[in-house]
Amino acid sequence: MGKAIDVDLSDEALKHREELKQDGEDAKNRREMEYKAEAKRLAEMKASMGKAIDVDLSDEALKHREELKQDGEDAKNRREMEYKSKAKELKDMAASAEKAIDVDLSDETEELRRELAS
């Protein structure tokens, strides 16, 4: 059962066998090319994942983009100014916390303070 049987094939059968063999080789080559193309496409996709996509925008969309950009810059500048103002306020508070407060006392209060101190 495990032995090959020698058979004489007609020219037509031999031709058909060669055609089938060639079809198999062509299919194999086609699958290999498809695999390589898909692997290349995936590699390009992975490489461009973090990149921005170029898109043609209408003039209105470009104007809106600029407005949003400006709004973002304005908000950033406001936050920065607010931060600087708060930081200065905290610095002033820290500096004044260490100082004694000078108060102009009336003569009567000054006299009372001296009496209490003695």
Per-residue pLDDT reduced to its tens digit, 42-92:
998 888 887 777 677 888 988 999 999 999 999 999 999 999 999 999 888
CB 18 within 8 A of CB 26: no
For the record, the structure tokens of 110 come out as 């000054």
Judge whether 113 and 105 are in contact, CB under 8 Å.
Answer: yes
Q: Are 32 and 40 in contact (CB under 8 A)?
A: no
Q: Which tokens in the block code for residue 114? A: 């001296």
Q: How many CA atoms lie within 13 A of 110 on its CB side?
A: 6
- Helix (H, G, I), strand (E, B), or coil: what is residue 38? helix
Query: Which pLDDT score, from 0 to 100, does residue 82 have?
Result: 95
pTM: 0.36
Q: Residues 19, 25, 28, 34: is their CA dihedral positive or negative? A: negative
**What is the spatial distance between Cα 79 and Cα 71, in angstroms, rounded to a whole number?**
12
Residue with more model confidence, 117 or 80: 80
